[in-house]
Amino acid sequence: MPSIFTRIINGELPCEKVLETEREFAFLDINPYSEGHTLVVPKREVGSFEQLTPEDAQSLIVAVQRVAIALTKAMGTPHYNLTLNNGTAAGQEVFHVHFHVVPRWEGKRRLREPYADGRMAEVGHAIREALAQG
């Protein structure tokens, strides 16, 4: 059965997409640690990081870097967490490799906060704009 991320990539489930390449897909987390929390996933579904081909791993890391640069610009902070939970003991819940890129600000605690109405689309737009500007 396809992962929830594969279903999102295939358009079966909605998302706020910020980046799509030949090999990767990035979208806002619906239960974010902070505004702008973005997931970057390979389109090819694999359960763990070590199962990626070297080419897919390299391409994924480049996409993560692009998203991190755009995200910090769009969100107005140079600070972010970059996380990969690999395996159950590491906290992986969806067994489709994915990186979390989570913007951070001085003095703000790590809390999961839902987006206010319309805010997710605004944040997604800002990140896409930053990506387009390079």
Q: What is the pLDDT of residues 43-84, one digit of tens each?
A: 999 999 999 999 999 999 999 999 999 999 999 999 999 999
Structural domain boundaries in the chain: 4-133
Catalytic residues, which ones?
98
Q: Which pLDDT belongs to residue 134? A: 83
CATH superfamily of 4-133: HIT-like (3.30.428.10)
Handedness of CA 96, 53, 127, 14 (dihedral sign): negative
Q: What is the DSSP string of 68-115?
A: HHHHHHHHT-SEEEEE---SGGGT--SSS--EEEEEE-TT------PP
Instruction: Give the whole-angstrom CA distance, residue 9 versus residue 25.
Output: 7
The pTM score is 0.95
Q: Are 74 and 126 in contact (CB under 8 A)?
A: yes
Residue 10 has pLDDT above 80, yes or no: yes
Q: Which pLDDT belongs to residue 24? A: 98
For the chain, the average pLDDT equals 96
